[in-house]
Amino acid sequence: MSDHKTMTLTLIVWRQKNANDPGKFETYTAKDITEHHSFLEMLDCVNEDLINSGKEPIVFDHDCREGICGMCSQVINGVPHGGQERTTVCQLHMRKFKDGDTIYIEPWRAKAFPIQKDLVVDRTAYDTIIQSGGYTSCHTGGVPDANATLIPKEVLDYAMDAAECIGCGACAAACPNSSAMLFTSAKVAQLAVLPQGKPEAAARVQAMLNTMQECGFGNCSNHYECQAACPKGINVKFIAKLNREYLKALFK
């Protein structure tokens, strides 16, 4: 732990006033940054400096700052969330950078995620995909006892691996086709293996896949950039599972 050492960094940041503005890169300096600053705290410091010098601070999405809400969304040096394995940008720390570094910061770039301002994009499309079928149609109340249906631990673990998705959008941002396949497949797979989700599995996979396309996301052509970018390590095996579920549904 060396607290005395500080860094100075050059930031090249995407600035865009609103959805209609063409946008451009601006250059800023981040001063007095320690290795213990989180990436967002580094941006907080830059913003305080900008405000104090009469300039508009950089707008970026964030909320929990614990890596779980999926709100933060920045492409850092070309990589969504900055490239540290299983880490969201809010959990990235400045010890991963060194004094004098130049850092490029951009918003998610995908047709289905229009930029609203600076680094903030509209991710409503992910909600639309879930609304098309990412649930079991149970009513509030009137459901059986929780232990009435046993679920083997392997099945449960598989479902949980898929359910860990935080819906941040990094998968689509990383994909050369801007496909939302990893996101969609994680929900399809989770519910397809659980007994509670099985009855609607065929209708669900078709509806969600159609909606994904209608929202303007591309198709999956097996680049697997999504898995590399996913801060929760969601595995591409769920895409294969989605494809199997889709074929099953077609021949139903």
Partner 1 sequence: MILDGKCPTGPIEKSWDNHRFELKLVNPANKRKYTVIMVGTGLAGGAAAASLGELGYNVMAFCYQDSPRRAHSIAAQGGINAAKNYPSDGDSILRLMYDTIKGGDFRAREADVWRLSQVSNNIIDQCVAQGVPFNRDYAGYLDNRSFGGAQVSRTFYSRGQTGQQLLLGAYSALSRQIKAGTVKMYTRREMLDLVVVDGVAKGITVRNMVTGEIECYAADAVCLATGGYVNVFYLSTNAKGCSVTANWAAAKKGAFFANPCYTQIHPTCIPQAGEYQSKLTLMSESLRNDGRIWVPKKKEDVGKRPDQISDEDRDYYLERKYPSYGNLAPRDISSRSAKEQCDDGRGVGPGGRGVYLDYADSIKRLGENTIRERYGNLFEMYERITDDNAYKTPMRIYPAPHYAMGGLWVDYNLMSNVPGLFVLGEANFSVHGANRLGASALMQGLADGYFVIPYTIGGYLATVKPGTVKVDHPEFKKSKEDVSARNNKFLSIKGKRTVTEFHRELGKIMWNNVGMARSKESLTEALKVIPKIREEFWQNVNVTGTGGEINQQLENAGRVADFLEFGELLTRDALHREESCGGHFRVEHQMPDGEAKRNDADFSYVGAWEFKGNDKEPELHKEPLKFETIHLAVRSYK
Site residues for ligand FES, 66-125, by CB under 6 A, read 67-72, 88, 90
Contact status, residue 40 vs residue 65, Cβ threshold 8 Å: yes
Cα 31 from Cα 181, distance rounded (Å): 40
Residue 180 CB-half CA count within 13 A: 32
234: helix, strand or coil: coil
Q: Give the binding range for ligand FES (CB under 6 A) out of 20-28, 59-67, 124-132, 184-192.
A: 59-67
Residues 146-165 that bind ligand FES (CB under 6 A): none
Q: Which two tokens stand for residue 169?
A: 């959008």
Q: How far is the CB of 181 from partner 1 (least distance, A)?
A: 19
CB of 168 to ligand FES, least distance (A): 7
Tell me the per-residue interface mask from 91 to 120 with partner 1, x by CB under 8 A, - otherwise. Answer: x-x-x--------------------xx--x
Would strands 120-121 and 79-80 be described as parallel, antiparallel, or unpaired?
A: unpaired
144, 222, 251, 252: which one binds partner 1 (CB under 8 A): 144
Rounded to whole angstroms, the Cα distance separating 83 from 231 reads: 9
Nearer to partner 1, 85 or 251 (CB): 85
Burial bucket for residue 148 (CB in 10 Å: 0-12, 13-18, 19+): exposed
The residues in 150-189 that bind partner 1, with binding defined as CB under 8 A, are: 150-153, 156, 159-160, 163-164, 166-167
Residues near ligand FES (CB under 6 A) are: 62-65, 67-72, 88, 90
